[in-house]
Structure 1
Amino acid sequence: MHTYAVLIIGSGFGGQCAAVNLLKAGIDDFRILERRDFFGGTWCQNTYPGAAVDVPSPLYSLSFAPYRWSQMFAEQAELRHYTEQLIEQFGLRERVELGADVEGVEWDEAEKRWLVHTRARGTFRTQFLINASGPLSQPVIPNFPGMDRFQGKTFHTNNWDHSYDYRGKRVAIVGSGASAAQVIPAIAPQVEHLHVFQRTPHWVLPRADRKFGRFQRWLLGLKPAYKLLRWLIYWQFETRVIAFKYSRPAIHLVQRHALRFLKRQVPDPVLRQKLTPDFTIGCKRVLVSSTYYPALSRANVTLHSREHGIASIDESGINSVDGEHLDVDLIVWSTGYDATDGVISYPVSGKNAVQLRDVWAEYPRAYLGTSLPDFPNLFIVTGPNTGIGHTSALFIIESQMNYILDCIRTVRAKGLRSIEVRRDAERTYTAMIHREMQRTVWKSGGCHSWYQSKSGHVIAMFPGFSFSYHLLTRALKPADHILS
């Protein structure tokens, strides 16, 4: 059995950030467990055509690791290079166990340790466990009748098969969210015909992208300039919360801007009607693209709305609900992830064999979106209600690290063995989250989105300014915790 002071599950930005913060705190007795056979998370896994970030790159980066970005919205290859640079810069590669697919974890009360069982790497034992598997790591594929009969090629955008040549083929892409909005413009000019199956339309805003020149990239290499640009972008994006939560007139102004953009880019009134959402902007994730609408307007692209959706699949293609049969060679599932109810995919057994799936049966919740009663020394990176719809998720991750490292340092400094959030503290925090959520567009915008769990509670998002969350995590509140 392998024993470490800290184990981190997941090697994406959350896991990397946790690892670097441990090293900075003088804690080097840790390992990163990665289920795949490569290190790096989202931007090494998602290699579909057109993959790119939808937050400006100088903000979508870790504060301690500036980078000379080539453009405002980095594409997947550059994000992967940034990830690999982080891994090399901080010597993380020798601290990862690849192929360590976690099957379950359990708390050993006598030893005050977590036992982490993996499929191929045996069992690990640790005092502190950080889950950084991420909310967008479990792809979801809907179950249509006849799927197993299809003789063509199928795959999810999360696992794009680059050995398959889609050029000149008849392709169906199921879904019209963030990944689809990037894939569609990338492949539409190269396929014979593209069928896009849209359950509900999304609001789209233009992408203010730009290439950085040589002098600008040089400036990005200077820490003061990089920090200044980060904060300028941060405060510009932070104002969006005013529309999402505090000001209906402000959000209606944004919505009118989106409608004008739609009208300008889609002259066909029939197609434009199909692409016009019936909910308030922001209720679902807003897409940022200047190429999505033009791609859907191409002669070789057909948009199928809900009333013309998929009824079944057979050997040669798709049968729509209105009786049409579409011959296709490839079906791409761009159908998202189990990002709320499935935020942790493996069984977790805490004190007195309390099961996390039972605690979260109604809906997932956690103190600061990070820790839970009955689960000592367990910390969840990007846990319930830590998502952010207006700025960089990495800002939230770094804020969580303040709290997590405070917890670990406190236990070690006092010569103790465990820290656990008090039940009343978690309940008070969760009540505040969902009370504040009532005022947001995510709750009252008239849509059903992946932000919500099956219960109807909005689980993905933090209902306020990101700096408010940062202030909550700046210092450990001992009165909210049990130390033993």
Structure 2
Amino acid sequence: MCAPAGESGSHTMYTGQLIHLQWLAMASDSNLDHFRVVIIGTGFSGLLCTAYLKDADIDDVRVFEMTPSVGGVWARNGVGAYPGAACDVPAYSYLPFLDKTGVVPSKKYVSQSEIADYAELLTDFIGMRDTIAFSRKVVAVDYLGDGDRVWRVTTEDPTTGETADIVTCQHVVAANGPLSSPRMPEVEGMETFKGESFHTAMWDKSASLAGKHVGVIGTGASAAQVITTIVDEVDQLTVFQRTPTWCLPRNDEPTPDDIRAKFEAGGYSESLRRVDWRGDNPPDEPPLFEFEDLHDEQKNAGVCAMLTARINNDVKDPALAKLLTPDYPFFCKRALFIDDYYTTFNKNNVGLVDDPGGVVRINETGVEIARGETFDLDVIIYATGFDSNFIPFAVTGRGGVTLADRFGATEENRWQMTRPHSLWGIHVRDMPNFYMMIGPQAINPVTNVTLVCEEQAKYIANLVQRIADEGKTEVEPTEAAVDKWTDICDHSADGKVWLKCNNWYLKTTKSDQAAGRERSAGMFMHSYADYLQHILGHQGGTPDELLEMH
């Protein structure tokens, strides 16, 4: 039997065609609810996308959220609801739509609870609460290719694991974000510990730390926030460090009267969030540091010298100060923005255990580090971050191609990407009408993420409306456009500070034996203004040149 022209006659393709026909039959034979757009996730990306769709008079939207509340990583009782959690970007520019909602943040760097409350308020301001199906975890997104019913989205109840809502839609927006899967360390004996233990992202609110010896494993952002918050509550705090972290003071303070007056006058937040990619008008407030300065070896060394002097000034014990001083360039790894991190180690009840080999074994009473020392603990807190999982559910596109295929991963290990292929971190080949927000190849490590959320939300809403206006049903990137963008991302870290140490930014795509060099294929390591040049300024091509509509 001959295969149609341009198609393989292989068993795999034949099986894929059968599955495709079964999908069509299921879609036509069932009474599945149908929506113009399905959005996955209610972090700020999902909220903003819904807002801009509504502005375009697109109201036929269903939003799936796997938790009982909005806010994504910041949600009430979400993965960011641990002691000390707060934004590390000034709230005045981090929180979107402040000028529209009339909300003035209580201080410069607001807490997780205030961000969660704002997400709830923003949801009602947008008028989208009725569009959200809460406690619905998306487990599969399958391409149908049936006119307006392009995709089928399957969810389950995260509590019972039973299949829940199944719907079809014309467009799918994956606004789930990459930081929803806590990374638990793989340490021998974790299950044997007799005390209390939990990850910061799964904080046990019933646990009492008062009067106890608490061990914190990790020295990243979540660890530092927890350490500085619980130190006066616990009897003894031991911090287990493999690698020290650069930490800048954030000079946090309640919102001063002059800033409050600027908010009340209107337009202040938008002036801070404005990134003029044409270079005509600088923002009202200068950035903390210039993007280019991070990658200038001499200027970066100057920042490191300044921070080293601060460590030596803040930490009374010179030997301890040395252990807390990184040996890599500033921002090669994520930097911290906390006022009292270093001085916390002066407290009598705080100890630092520095071992590059880290914790290697856990027993009934505590932990053992690589050099053989053991430490008895009452409580273990795993502050070990998140897996950067851009593919938390199965996505199957045209011809059985999966999103894992397009990202160089496998269905068994979706987070370990080798070389993602996308256009702008939004579009994926063979995934018509499928859009990612804050996906791979869209951000660099110093970008204010909510800025990207908003520009991507505007772009997606405009494109969905344009497809309808032009009488089209589907859109996807050309193969040439994807190849070009992937090549740009592949080389975007060349000459940048992020290639000078081991970090999570490059972790999922770091090694490439064939190319024989490190790569940054998983991120867009140029500036945010450069990113806007592509999606707004048409650098590299116009949408008509880079997209196929039919």
* Bin for the TM-score computed over the shorter chain: over 0.9
- Cα distance in structure 1, aligned partners of 2:121 and 2:262: 19
Aligned ranges 1:214-233 → 2 under 5 Å: 214=257, 216-230=259-273
Q: Is the 8 A contact 1:319 1:325 kept in 2?
A: yes
Question: Relative to structure 1, is the Cα distance of residues 366 and 86 closer, same or farther in structure 2, using a 3 angstrom cutoff?
Answer: same
Choose from 151, 163, 176 the match for 1:114: 151
Q: Which amino acid aligns with 1:191?
A: V
- Cα distance in structure 2, aligned partners of 1:223 and 1:98: 34
- Cα distance in structure 1, aligned partners of 2:419 and 2:284: 31
Deviation at 1:52, TM superposition (A): 0.8
Alignment correspondent of 1:262:
311
Q: Is the 8 A contact 1:133 1:344 kept in 2?
A: no
Q: Is the 8 A contact 1:422 1:480 kept in 2?
A: yes
Q: Is the 8 A contact 2:139 2:155 kept in 1?
A: yes
Q: Does 1:237 align with 2:287?
A: yes
The C-alpha deviation readout for 1:414-439, integer Å capped at 9, x for no partner, is 12111000111011011112223212
Deviation at 1:307, TM superposition (A): 4.3
Q: Which amino acid aligns with 1:270?
A: A
Deviation at 1:171, TM superposition (A): 1.0
Q: Is the 8 A contact 1:8 1:32 kept in 2?
A: yes
- Cα distance in structure 1, aligned partners of 2:107 and 2:234: 28
- Cα distance in structure 1, aligned partners of 2:105 and 2:243: 34
Alpha-carbon RMSD: 2.0
- Cα distance in structure 1, aligned partners of 2:470 and 2:356: 62
Q: Does 1:290 align with 2:339?
A: yes
- Cα distance in structure 1, aligned partners of 2:339 and 2:288: 22
Question: Relative to structure 1, is the Cα distance of residues 24 and 250 closer, same or farther in structure 2, using a 3 angstrom cutoff?
Answer: same
Q: Is the 8 A contact 1:105 1:117 kept in 2?
A: yes
Could you say which structure has the greater relative contact order, defined with CA pairs below 8 angstroms and 6 or more residues apart? 1
Q: Is the 8 A contact 1:279 1:447 kept in 2?
A: no
Question: Relative to structure 1, is the Cα distance of residues 402 and 228 closer, same or farther in structure 2, using a 3 angstrom cutoff?
Answer: closer
Q: Which amino acid aligns with 1:372?
A: V
Choose from 436, 439, 443 the match for 1:387: 443
Q: Does 1:329 align with 2:378?
A: yes
The TM-score with structure 1 as length reference comes to 0.94
Alignment correspondent of 1:16:
47
Question: Relative to structure 1, is the Cα distance of residues 168 and 461 closer, same or farther in structure 2, using a 3 angstrom cutoff?
Answer: farther
Alignment correspondent of 2:204:
161
Q: What stretches of structure 2 of length at least 5 have no aligned partner?
A: 1-31, 158-163, 275-281, 409-417, 512-518
Secondary structure of 1:209's aligned partner: coil
- Cα distance in structure 1, aligned partners of 2:256 and 2:221: 28
- Cα distance in structure 1, aligned partners of 2:396 and 2:288: 38
Q: Which amino acid aligns with 1:357?
A: A
Question: Relative to structure 1, is the Cα distance of residues 230 and 208 closer, same or farther in structure 2, using a 3 angstrom cutoff?
Answer: farther
Q: Is the 8 A contact 2:445 2:505 kept in 1?
A: no
Q: Is the 8 A contact 2:420 2:522 kept in 1?
A: no
The C-alpha deviation readout for 1:96-117, integer Å capped at 9, x for no partner, is 1011111111101234511111
Q: Does 1:209 align with 2:252?
A: yes
The TM-score with structure 2 as length reference comes to 0.83
- Cα distance in structure 2, aligned partners of 1:162 and 1:222: 40
Aligned ranges 1:335-350 → 2 under 5 Å: 335-339=384-388, 342-350=389-397
- Cα distance in structure 1, aligned partners of 2:174 and 2:150: 15
Q: Which amino acid aligns with 1:286?
A: A
Q: Does 1:77 align with 2:113?
A: yes
Choose from 533, 537, 540 the match for 1:471: 533
Secondary structure of 1:416's aligned partner: coil
- Cα distance in structure 2, aligned partners of 1:281 and 1:215: 32
Question: Relative to structure 1, is the Cα distance of residues 250 and 215 closer, same or farther in structure 2, using a 3 angstrom cutoff?
Answer: closer
- Cα distance in structure 1, aligned partners of 2:202 and 2:260: 32
Q: Which amino acid aligns with 2:83?
A: P
Aligned ranges 1:80-95 → 2 under 5 Å: 80-95=116-131
Q: Is the 8 A contact 2:141 2:394 kept in 1?
A: yes
- Cα distance in structure 1, aligned partners of 2:43 and 2:243: 30
Q: Does 1:101 align with 2:137?
A: yes
The C-alpha deviation readout for 1:150-170, integer Å capped at 9, x for no partner, is 122122111212111111111
- Cα distance in structure 1, aligned partners of 2:188 and 2:156: 32
Alignment correspondent of 1:53:
87
Choose from 440, 452, 457 the match for 2:507: 452
Q: Is the 8 A contact 2:241 2:356 kept in 1?
A: no
Alignment correspondent of 1:314:
363
- Cα distance in structure 2, aligned partners of 1:454 and 1:468: 22
Deviation at 1:49, TM superposition (A): 0.9
Alignment correspondent of 2:22:
none
Alignment correspondent of 1:123:
166
Q: Which amino acid aligns with 2:106?
A: S
Alignment correspondent of 2:8:
none
Secondary structure of 2:93's aligned partner: coil
Q: Is the 8 A contact 2:39 2:64 kept in 1?
A: yes
Question: Relative to structure 1, is the Cα distance of residues 388 and 480 closer, same or farther in structure 2, using a 3 angstrom cutoff?
Answer: same
Choose from 183, 187, 190 the match for 1:140: 183
Q: Does 1:281 align with 2:324?
A: no
Larger Rg: 2
The C-alpha deviation readout for 1:242-300, integer Å capped at 9, x for no partner, is 1124x222222222221111111113122122112121111111111121111123221
Secondary structure of 1:373's aligned partner: coil
Choose from 44, 57, 67 the match for 1:26: 57
Deviation at 1:131, TM superposition (A): 0.5
Question: Relative to structure 1, is the Cα distance of residues 141 and 233 closer, same or farther in structure 2, using a 3 angstrom cutoff?
Answer: farther
- Cα distance in structure 1, aligned partners of 2:470 and 2:494: 40
Secondary structure of 1:109's aligned partner: strand
Question: Relative to structure 1, is the Cα distance of residues 233 and 316 closer, same or farther in structure 2, using a 3 angstrom cutoff?
Answer: farther
Which of 297-306 and 140-149 deviates more? 297-306
Q: Which amino acid aligns with 1:168?
A: G
Choose from 403, 415, 424 the match for 1:356: 403
Deviation at 1:461, TM superposition (A): 4.2
Question: Relative to structure 1, is the Cα distance of residues 56 and 451 closer, same or farther in structure 2, using a 3 angstrom cutoff?
Answer: farther
Q: Is the 8 A contact 1:170 1:328 kept in 2?
A: yes
Q: Which amino acid aligns with 2:199?
A: H
Alignment correspondent of 1:409:
465
Choose from 401, 413, 428 the match for 1:372: 428
Secondary structure of 1:52's aligned partner: coil
- Cα distance in structure 1, aligned partners of 2:431 and 2:327: 42
Question: Relative to structure 1, is the Cα distance of residues 4 and 130 closer, same or farther in structure 2, using a 3 angstrom cutoff?
Answer: same
Alignment correspondent of 1:194:
237
